[in-house]
Amino acid sequence: MKKQTWKMHFLHGVPCKWDGDAYNEERENYVFEADLYIAGYERGRSSAVLILVPYEDKDKGWREQKVRYQVFMSDTEDIIKKMVKGRIKGSFTWVKKGANYGIQLA
């Protein structure tokens, strides 16, 4: 496996979506536990991503959801297979594809 040479960017504790976002913290990659819910999808210039939010925020409006995790299409199959009624609990880790950041199952 290729050695990771990048650090995950955060702004006030919230994960950034891509290299162009403002950030005030860099972290080494790590595994974290999360209880997430599917909130929709987004399209970018060269990508489409699944959006997951913390389960406790699932009923909040789009602007009220402080943390939104991106899942690249190439990483969605494992997540979708383990989802139950749009919800997934598990261990996740950060991934970077091009200039974009996302998560995948660890």
For residue 42, being part of any structural domain is answered with yes
Domain around 67: 29-105
CB distance 51 to 69 below 8 Å: yes
For residue 24, being part of any structural domain is answered with no
Convert the pLDDT of each residue in 44-53 to its tens digit. Answer: 777 899 999 9
Give the chain's domain count.
Answer: 1
HSE-CB for 97 with a 13 A CA cutoff? 14
- Which residues are within 8 A (CB) of 84 and not within 5 positions of it... i.e. 6 or more apart? none
Cα–Cα separations (whole angstroms), residue 61 to 15, 39, 48, 69:
19, 10, 21, 15
Tokens of 44: 């970018």
Convert the pLDDT of each residue in 18-40 to its tens digit. Answer: 999 999 999 999 999 999 999 99
Using 50, 70 and 90 to split pLDDT, how confident is the model at 103? very high
For residue 48, being part of any structural domain is answered with yes
- CA-nearest of 31, 29, 30, 33 to 90 is 33
For residue 54, being part of any structural domain is answered with yes
For residue 77, being part of any structural domain is answered with yes
